[in-house]
A and B are shown apart, each in its own frame.
Chain A
Amino acid sequence: MKTFLKSLVAVLLVALPVAARAGTVTVKGSDTMVILGQRWAEEFMKKAPATKVQVTGGGSGTGLAALQNGTTDIAMSSREMKDAESKKLRARYNTTGEEIAVAKDGVTFYVNAGNPVTALTLEQLRGIYLGDITNWKEVGGPDAAIVVYSRENSSGTYVFVKDNVLDGEDYTSSAQTLPGTAAVVNAVAKEKHGIGYGGAAYAKGIKELNVKKGNEEIAPSADNIKTGKYPLSRNLYFYLRNKPASEVKAFIDFALSPEGQAVVTKVGYFPVK
C-alpha cells in the first residue's frame, strides 16, 4: 500500500505543470477588443520589454471559456460574464473572478451610405433582426429587401444585441453570419440594402444609425455613450480568475492609466476614467 501511495504521489508531482509562465501575459477574447488589446500590448511592451503580452481574439465566449480552462490570464469580453460562466469559475477555482471595466463602447447599427434611413427605434431594429420586418419600405426606406448581417454566436456583441435588442430571442435564420465586426462593415459598405452592427471603432466608411426614442434621435456619439444616454452603450471588460498580480497587474494598471486610456480614445472607443 505504501509503495502504491508513493508511486501515486510521484506521478502527480511529475504531472504538475509549470505554475507560471514568467514574463508572459496571455489575453484572449472579444473580437471587438482585439485592436484595443493589441495597441495596449504594443505600448506596454515598449515600457516593459521583459514582458511579452500575447493578444488573440475568438469572441468573448471563447475568452471566458479559456479563462475557465486556465489557458489565458485575461479574458477580454464585450459583455458581462454570465451566471453559468461565473458558476464554472467557482466550481473549478473557488473564486468569483475579477471584473475590470477597461473601456466603454456603443453598439452601433450600420447601413449603407446610400440608404436614406438615418434612425430606427429599438422595436424596429428588433423587428428586422427577428425577421418580422423584411423590407426597407416598412421603416421609411426604399422598396427593397433588407439584407441582415450578424456576428457569430461566440461574439459578445452578438450576445449583447440578442439580450438588449432581441429580448433574448433568436436571430432571424436569414441573417448572414460574418466573422468579426470589420467583415460586417465591409459587407454593409458593399451591399446597399444591408444592415449590420458592431463596435463604434470600426464604423468608418458607412453610415451609423441613430436610435429613435420617442421623438428624440440619439446618436452613438462619444458623449451619449459615455453618459449612457445612448441606449446601446456598454462596458468593455477584462476578466481574471483572481485579483491581478505581477505582470498581469502591471499590464492592467497600464491599460487603466491616462496613457492607456488615451489608447482607448485613439482606437475609437471611450475611456472609463
Chain B
Amino acid sequence: MRNTLLAILTLTAAPALAQQAEPPASDAPPDAPAAESQPAPAAPEEPSLDERMTNAEGKVTSLEEQNAETQTVLSALTKLKLSGYVQARYQYQESLDDTGAGGFSRFTVRRGRLKTTYTTDWAQMMLQIDAVPDTGVTVRDAEATFYVPGMKKKLSLTLGQMKWPFGFEAVQSSSDREIPERTRVVRAFLPDERDRGAKFSGEFLKGRMTIDVGVFDGDGLFNQGFIGSDNDKEKDIIGRAGFDLKWLSGGISGWYGHSLGRRPTDTYRVAYDRNRVALDAQLYLDVLPFGGTSIKAEYIKGNSYWRSSGGTKVEQLGVPASGWYGLVVQNVSLTNAVAVRYDYFDPENGQPNLETADGKPGSNNAVGTLAVALLHHFSENLKATLAYELPMTAAPGAAEDPHDNLLTFQLQARY
C-alpha cells in the first residue's frame, strides 16, 4: 500500500517539477501587454520640506532626551571612584641568633585594599576594606563626611573609622611609601593608624594651611578585648596643624587623652595619661638633573604607646617613649628611585639600655634601623620595591645585636 502511494505521488509530481526546471520555449507567446495587466500602484509622494524638518526635529529632540538621560546616569558615575591595590611580597630574614631560632623565608600578601568613594557637593562616603590571607577581610576606613556648603570642600566634618590626624607618615598612604613598612616609632604610637571618632578638617590660605582636629576613642582598631568599641569613657583629642609651601611642608601634631587600665602593680584601674607631640617636615628639591629629591623627617615623643607581645598589642600605660626618622628619596629618571631611611625608637625614655641574664640586649633597649630601598615603576599601575633593613638594637656589655636584618621584595599593583 505504501509503495503504491509513493508511486502515485512520484508520477504526479514529476511533470510539475519538469515544468519548473525547463527554460521557456523560444516560440512561447510574449508577455501580455501592460495595458491588459493590473494598474501599477502610484509612487508615494515625496515628503514635503516641512514634514522632513518635523521628522528631523523629532529625532533631534528624541536624541536630546536620550542624551540628558545618559548624562544623568553618567554624572552619578563620575562621583563614584573605585580604587585599590595589592602588595605581594617575598621576605627573607636571618636567623635571630646562632642557635638558628627565628628568621624566615616567606611569601606574603601584606595588603589587599579595595576602596570606594562617592563624592557629591555636600557629602562623601568612603569605605576601604583589606582582604589578605592571614586576617581575612577587615574594614580599614568607613567614613561619612559632610562638606560645609559654599566652602568648596575646604571645610568638612567626618564621622566614622578613619586615620588619626597625627604626623606625616601615619597619614600617608601605604601605596605611596618608599620603604615597605612604617617606622618603629610610628608603629608604636599609632599602630594601624586608625580609630573611630569625629574629625573636623579645614583648609585655609589657599591650601597653604590645614587644620585637622578630632575626638577619638583613642584605642585604635585592635583594642584587645574591646574590638570595635572603646575600653572606657575617656576620649582622646588629636590634631595636626600643617603648612604647605609646595617645596616645604610640615606640621605640628598633638594628642591629649587618657587610657583606663591596670598595670601589674595597680589594685584598681587607673586613668593613665596618653599624650604625644610630633613635629614633621618635608623638603622637595629639584637640583639634580636626573630627578627630584625629597627629604622627610619626623619626631614623636609621648607616653602610653603599644607594644607587640606575641600576637597581641599591649598598651604600655604611662610609659614614656620617643623616636624619630629621616628619609631621603632620590628619583633617577622617570621610573626609578632610591630611598634611604634611618629611624630610631627608644621605648623607655630615661632608662639605660640593658643586657639580659642570658647575654642578650634588653627588650626595652633602643633600636635604630637603617633601610635602603630601590624602587622601579613599570607603569602607573605597577611598582617594584627591593628593600633591605638593618635593625641595630642597643647592645651594652657583651650582648650582641640580634641577626634580624630583613630583605623584602614587593610588587605593588594598583588601579
Contact A167 B150 (CB under 8 A): yes
Binds A, one of B272-280, B347-355, B373-381: B373-381
Contact of B377 among A8, A70, A94 (CB under 8 A): A70
Contact A86 B75 (CB under 8 A): no
Contact A94 B291 (CB under 8 A): yes
Per-residue interface assignment for chain A, residues 236 to 267, with 1 indicating a CB less than 8 Å from any chain B CB and 0 otherwise:
00000111010000000000000000000000
Binds B, one of A15-23, A32-40, A116-124: A15-23
How long is the Cα–Cα vector from A86 to B208 in the complex, in angstroms?
Answer: 13
Chain B CB count within 10 A is highest, among A16, A90, A167, A176, for: A90
Secondary structure at the B interface, as helix, strand, loop or mixed, is: mixed
B90 (CB) vs chain A CBs: closest residue: A4
How long is the Cα–Cα vector from A169 to B75 in the complex, in angstroms?
Answer: 14
Interface size band for A: 35 or more
Number of residue pairs A-B, CB distance < 8 angstroms: 90
How long is the Cα–Cα vector from A2 to B335 in the complex, in angstroms?
Answer: 25
Please give, as numbers and ranges, the residues of chain A lying within 8 Å of B291 by CB-CB distance.
Answer: 93-95, 242
How long is the Cα–Cα vector from A17 to B376 in the complex, in angstroms?
Answer: 10
Given contacts A93-B292, A153-B78, contact A167 B152 (CB under 8 A): yes
A96 in the interface, Cβ–Cβ < 8 Å?
yes
Please give, as numbers and ranges, the residues of chain A lying within 8 Å of B395 by CB-CB distance.
Answer: none
How long is the Cα–Cα vector from A12 to B336 in the complex, in angstroms?
Answer: 10
Per-residue interface assignment for chain A, residues 85 to 127, with 1 indicating a CB less than 8 Å from any chain B CB and 0 otherwise:
0100011111110100000000000000000000000000000
How long is the Cα–Cα vector from A70 to B44 in the complex, in angstroms?
Answer: 62
Contact of A241 among B72, B247, B292 (CB under 8 A): B292
How long is the Cα–Cα vector from A176 to B65 in the complex, in angstroms?
Answer: 11
A173 in the interface, Cβ–Cβ < 8 Å?
yes
Contact B335 A93 (CB under 8 A): no
Please give, as numbers and ranges, the residues of chain A lying within 8 Å of B376 by CB-CB distance.
Answer: 12, 15-16
Please give, as numbers and ranges, the residues of chain A lying within 8 Å of B324 by CB-CB distance.
Answer: none
Contact of A242 among B120, B286, B330, B378 (CB under 8 A): B286
User: Which residues of B come within 8 Å of A, CB atoms?
Assistant: 64, 67-68, 71-72, 75, 78, 92, 120-121, 150-153, 173, 176, 203, 207, 244, 246-247, 282, 284, 286, 289, 291-294, 329-331, 333-337, 374, 376-380, 384, 386, 409
Please give, as numbers and ranges, the residues of chain B lying within 8 Å of A68 by CB-CB distance.
Answer: 380
Please give, as numbers and ranges, the residues of chain B lying within 8 Å of A243 by CB-CB distance.
Answer: 286
Please give, as numbers and ranges, the residues of chain A lying within 8 Å of B71 by CB-CB distance.
Answer: 173, 176-177
What 13 new A-B contacts, CB under 8 Å, besides A96-B246, A168-B152, A176-B68? A12-B374, A12-B384, A15-B384, A16-B335, A17-B335, A19-B335, A83-B203, A90-B284, A94-B291, A95-B291, A95-B292, A170-B121, A242-B292
B381 (CB) vs chain A CBs: closest residue: A69
How long is the Cα–Cα vector from A90 to B92 in the complex, in angstroms?
Answer: 31
Please give, as numbers and ranges, the residues of chain B lying within 8 Å of A98 by CB-CB distance.
Answer: 286
A223 in the interface, Cβ–Cβ < 8 Å?
no
How long is the Cα–Cα vector from A139 to B68 in the complex, in angstroms?
Answer: 25
Contact B386 A8 (CB under 8 A): yes
Which A residues from 167 to 200 make CB contacts under 8 A with B?
Answer: 167-170, 173-174, 176-177
